[in-house]
Structure 1
């Protein structure tokens, strides 16, 4: 881990199972056994819990596949970020370029009609993009923010790479096949180039979007809205996420996030749902025969959601300021004491399978490198509560890990007490004792 130094590993016996736990719970058991991970009828499938990043299901999740209009989640993120930064307002008016206009007039694609001789607010174009996957509206927004689509795509590259996404191809803002863009293709790409990512990476995109801009759900949850109501361009925008309220495959509590369909990508969907205080992000890529069987991606998403809620529990692991026990001593130089105990900074829970026998949990502590001296020790004085590093809490037998590749959930670690700097006489005595010891 960058700027941290691993110092120790501690085994905490029996996490909320049996006779001891980090919280001192006695006689508690994890819920009864549940079914095995379901087989999802798609090229890839992935499920995470977004607040922790815990992976609950991974079926071929690291194979790069077409993402189609799920691309628009990245466009949405950059739009919302631009508004947050104060460089754009919802009521700003946008003029439509010839390129965006031509794309918007192609009704073989998802679109709302746009006019060159009119302007549109940022909000109505955003709603058209997020609800109806309108491609011309998406291009118009990107051009307004960046000047042209190519520059916006460069921004997309920079953003996803900042999230640790590397196994991607992004050539346009919409997810359309390059061949549908009427020659307006990204430099270095071809008519056959297609946007692509892994299911894991799509889950990361959704996680970042929901974490930084949860208000996106206010729009992604809209089942139907009229664009330009009362004008000649009025069009009913029915959300392509048919799991939303009132639509054909409605599931309670589903409130997003984005579907995508092209010949290259097949029928895909990134979904999200919250039940009993726990949110899931699900990804289905290229549902089998999904372009003919319109229910397929929704049925597979529903299956994943059912299984995840039935099969996983959020289990308390640590309380705020709880000591990390059995850890190797953390040496402190120049202090009145020569070692310090560490504690977790905040409450922490682990998401675990209901049928998992959590006999051991590993806690790997890493100290901040900028706090360590040449001997890799801390140096007094140290105030109680000082952030000194992080710990990864790893459940034994957890092969899925976390969406960012970590093996365990991370929590901040603090000094459990104050250690004052020793006076010069104590330090001199220690130096003399060490010198004599070295001689003999």
Structure 2
């Protein structure tokens, strides 16, 4: 009976929240004036890592339960490394139980002295954003949440995140945990991430463990008699009529979040016609706003951007595609782009991109020459893509500069010893006559 009442209360709360949200039709903007009603936001093409839109994307803000994406990553990594399996069982600690018993936190109602599998705990964390199951998984993997937080921060650094701080595994405020806040962290601490780092975490989570989408896309699932309802109301297939206004075709993840300080946050991902996008909105005004602003972002990406080849393999720059060669049978060698440069760009932006050759100083001798022998395809520098417009937001992983290797088009054999000797004699007399001439000038 208790579980039934819990389920009924949950459905009533969700219905009230859904009906209280004003419907705002998603806007498919096509101009530079595009914006979203969020303090911070970012939109990324998953395949290329190109950032299609950014707003205050490097400002650190509380991510709330989007924090759990890092916990998900470490759980999936532990399974991959053989440290645990989906069938591994664990008991719930007094700390995790106290969180589960608190009605102010998301929870499926865990029991003491009852074994739970990693799979059950993981599903509850991903689908229902359950805080207690998240803590239980952290304790299972690291022994304590404090040690797990160290793993979270270490993994963030490894993934190239820059504007972050993890103080617990769930995204709750440390102050709300009372004396159970993780050892070694500030008792009043708050998890912090920028939108860019949140997108980077989501990017690596999906890239390294695509199976995360198999669970994040489940709208409703049973957990020991309780109905878990996914807080991601944009998922197609939600049974409740209240969610239909949020449904977004192709969306299959990833994580919602909410605290008083964080506001309403959401990391979404959707795939259409073979293109996957990742979006992040932080500190929106309402539970509905985070979904509508996400829809605006995704529509903007799907409707206005496409992958374009901006530099063909073999591309050459007029007047810059030849490098002098020393000790070779040829006096120079042609150079070209070793690979094509593809980028997801907004329609009509092609003319704002160009390429320049940058020859590596390490590849040249003191006279600015390549030294034979030289094989075709030898890397001698890089071809850098440059942008002269106003709407390029860089790359999520590789930064702002996009480049491919600059390589030799052909090979150049080394001259035989006799020719090299004649060249050396010739160079000697040229230098000698130059010196003598200098005496009379």
Query: Would the aligned equivalents of 1:362 and 1:396 in 2 still touch at CA under 8 Å?
Result: no
In structure 1, the partner of 2:222 is 226
1:344-423 aligned within 5 A: 344-356=337-349, 358-363=351-356, 365=358, 367=360, 380-385=372-377, 390-397=382-389, 398-404=391-397, 406-423=399-416
Among 278, 291, 297, which residue is 1:298 paired with?
A: 291
Among 57, 63, 68, which residue is 2:64 paired with?
A: 68
Aligned length: 397
In structure 1, the partner of 2:150 is 154
Q: Secondary structure at the match of 2:233?
A: coil
Query: What displacement does 1:179 show?
Result: 1.6
Among 81, 93, 97, which residue is 1:97 paired with?
A: 93
More displaced, 309-318 or 360-369? 360-369
Query: What displacement does 1:364 show?
Result: 5.0
Higher relative contact order (CA 8 A, sep 6+): 1
Query: Would the aligned equivalents of 1:364 and 1:393 in 2 still touch at CA under 8 Å?
Result: no
In structure 2, the partner of 1:5 is none
In structure 1, the partner of 2:303 is 310
Query: Would the aligned equivalents of 1:323 and 1:341 in 2 still touch at CA under 8 Å?
Result: no
Query: What displacement does 1:257 show?
Result: 0.8
Deviation string for 1:13-59 (max 9, x for gaps)? xxxxxxxxxxxxxxxxxxxx933342211111111112222221111
1:280-299 aligned within 5 A: 280-288=277-285, 290=286, 294-299=287-292
Deviation string for 1:278-311 (max 9, x for gaps)? 21111110102x1xxx211001111111122222
* Alignment gaps of 5+ in structure 1: 1-32, 229-233
Change (3 A) 1:415 1:256: farther
1:312-351 aligned within 5 A: 312-319=305-312, 321-326=313-318, 327=320, 329-330=322-323, 335-337=328-330, 339-351=332-344
Q: Secondary structure at the match of 1:183?
A: helix
Query: What displacement does 1:250 show?
Result: 0.8
Among 124, 135, 141, which residue is 2:137 paired with?
A: 141
Change (3 A) 1:180 1:376: farther
In structure 2, the partner of 1:240 is 231
Query: Would the aligned equivalents of 2:337 and 2:406 in 1 still touch at CA under 8 Å?
Result: yes
Query: What displacement does 1:378 show?
Result: 5.5
Query: What displacement does 1:105 show?
Result: 2.3
Query: What displacement does 1:422 show?
Result: 4.2
Give the Cα separation in 2 of the matches to 1:103 and 1:277: 41
In structure 1, the partner of 2:120 is 124
Query: What displacement does 1:345 show?
Result: 4.5
Give the Cα separation in 1 of the matches to 2:303 and 2:86: 40
Change (3 A) 1:393 1:211: farther
Q: Secondary structure at the match of 2:351?
A: coil
**What TM-score results when the alignment is normalised by the length of structure 2?**
0.81
Query: What displacement does 1:270 show?
Result: 0.6
Query: What displacement does 1:372 show?
Result: 6.9
Q: Does 1:164 align with 2:160?
A: yes
Specify which structure has the higher proportion of helix.
2
Query: Would the aligned equivalents of 1:34 and 1:355 in 2 still touch at CA under 8 Å?
Result: no
Change (3 A) 1:437 1:72: farther
Give the Cα separation in 2 of the matches to 1:421 and 1:65: 60
Query: Would the aligned equivalents of 2:329 and 2:414 in 1 still touch at CA under 8 Å?
Result: yes
User: CA RMSD, aligned part only?
Assistant: 2.8
Query: What displacement does 1:388 show?
Result: 5.6
In structure 2, the partner of 1:216 is 212
Query: What displacement does 1:102 show?
Result: 2.2
Give the Cα separation in 2 of the matches to 1:382 and 1:111: 66
Query: What displacement does 1:404 show?
Result: 4.1
In structure 2, the partner of 1:266 is 263
Change (3 A) 1:223 1:368: farther
Query: What displacement does 1:221 show?
Result: 1.0
**What TM-score results when the alignment is normalised by the length of structure 1?**
0.81
Give the Cα separation in 1 of the matches to 2:226 and 2:357: 56
Give the Cα separation in 2 of the matches to 1:379 and 1:240: 63
Give the Cα separation in 1 of the matches to 2:249 and 2:329: 60
From the CA coordinates, give the structure whose radius of gyration is larger. Answer: 2
Give the Cα separation in 1 of the matches to 2:78 and 2:316: 42
Query: Would the aligned equivalents of 1:256 and 1:272 in 2 still touch at CA under 8 Å?
Result: yes
Q: Secondary structure at the match of 1:190?
A: coil
Query: Would the aligned equivalents of 1:268 and 1:286 in 2 still touch at CA under 8 Å?
Result: yes
